Structure 1
Amino acid sequence: MAEIDQSGGGKKGGKKRSKKASTKIDMTPMVDLGFLLITFFMLTTTLSKPVTMQLNMPDKTDTKETSPVKLSETLTVIPDEKGIYYYQGIPTEAGTKLEKTNYSKDGIRAVLFDFKKRIGNNFTIVIKPSKGAKYKNIVDFLDECAITDNKRYAILEIDPDTEALIKRSGL
């Protein structure tokens, strides 16, 4: 453990000096204790579990007809890296107005709450990510759906009519 050196230094003649004691500390038990503590804490710590969002997908083998969704109860959302576009209606009709907002609480979240207040809980969100959308943009929008408690949404590929609507609007 610890060891004290009692030798008085050199063996020269002459003046007699007082003996100096030098100490040495053996650090081996301290290192062992450190590794034991590290091992203990590694084995007793609970690791964080990944948090995932549940996404229900239809069964591909199911050939049943589904009930049609009313156009007045549908909001089409186009996530993009520059912002988020949304419209209600058919993109080829002249009266369809495309609007742009952002991913903040005053942006798309306010739009979803407003739409929910006007239509009710039974509205469907059609998500059509643009070609410039990142994975993060879609996840951010799905998070907004979870925050606003919207459970009816569908993810589709963007169609040429919707792309043409974006180009026409100039946003």
Structure 2
Amino acid sequence: MENSKKVRSKKLDPRVDLTAMVSVSFLLIIFFMVTTELSKQKIMSLSLPEKDISCGGFGCSSGSELRIQTVLLDENDKIITYSGLLECPLEAPKKVKYGKDGIRKELQNKQIKTLKYYADMGLPHRGSIIIIKPSEKSNFKNLVDILDEMAIVNIDTYSIVNEFTPEESKLLAKN
């Protein structure tokens, strides 16, 4: 009789291939890193004066109010500007016009004074902070014009704010 042996299959050690899991985990890590970075808020910091109880809640003697110039835009191309804070302005509010002899000259003078003041203190590159406040009655062209003036005068720190204080509303109504 012939030697009848059954051929048995050789059992292999079971192995788990983790290549796909590594790929998925790297994709998840990249996804969460990107979404975390994109969800961060992008804000512009606005340097306002330190708080002080002696003058309407803000400091009028700290020197930092020298940097602030507020530009109020109203209907019929009306611009009212004041330096500092309205509670204790460095310069009284005044009407100016658009153009090189109006608002541009005001902004240039403000920028020059501010740069000189901080350069004398040993703090260069601290220019003016312009707060632009268009009223509901002002038109879009006026806002674009004032932003053009910012670029012409090289003022790089400005903010557009749509909230008026009651005093500013009275000032616009009076003028």
Same fold per superposition (TM over 0.5): yes
Whole-Å Cα distance in 2 between the matches of residues 154 and 102 of structure 1? 20
Whole-Å Cα distance in 2 between the matches of residues 137 and 108 of structure 1? 12
Q: Which structure shows the higher helix fraction?
A: 2
Is it true that 1:146 corresponds to 2:140 in the alignment?
no
Query: Equivalent of 2:170, from 160, 164, 167?
Result: 164
> Unaligned regions of 5+ residues in structure 2, if any?
1-37, 49-63, 116-125
1:116 offset after TM fit, Å? 1.1
The answer (yes or no) to whether the contact 1:98–1:166 under 8 Å persists in 2 is no
The alpha-carbon distance between structure 1 residues 118 and 80, as it changes in their structure 2 partners (threshold 3 A), is same
Q: After the TM superposition, which residues 63-78 of structure 1 pair with which residues of structure 2 at under 5 Å, given as runs? A: 66=45, 68-69=47-48, 70-78=64-72
Query: Equivalent of 1:79, from 73, 95, 101?
Result: 73
Q: After the TM superposition, which residues 84-163 of structure 1 pair with which residues of structure 2 at under 5 Å, given as runs? A: 84-93=79-88, 97-120=92-115, 122-159=127-164, 160-163=166-169
> Unaligned regions of 5+ residues in structure 1, if any?
1-58
Structure 1 vs Structure 2: percent identity of aligned residues?
30
What root-mean-square deviation, in Å, do the aligned CA atoms of Structure 1 and Structure 2 show?
2.8
Q: What do residues 40-63 of structure 1 show as CA deviations (whole Å, max 9, x unaligned)? A: xxxxxxxxxxxxxxxxxxx99449
The answer (yes or no) to whether the contact 1:75–1:87 under 8 Å persists in 2 is yes
The alpha-carbon distance between structure 1 residues 114 and 61, as it changes in their structure 2 partners (threshold 3 A), is same
Whole-Å Cα distance in 1 between the matches of residues 39 and 93 of structure 2? 32
The answer (yes or no) to whether the contact 1:90–1:96 under 8 Å persists in 2 is no
TM-score (structure 2 length as normaliser): 0.55
Residues paired across the two proteins, number: 111
**The structure with more radius of gyration:** 1
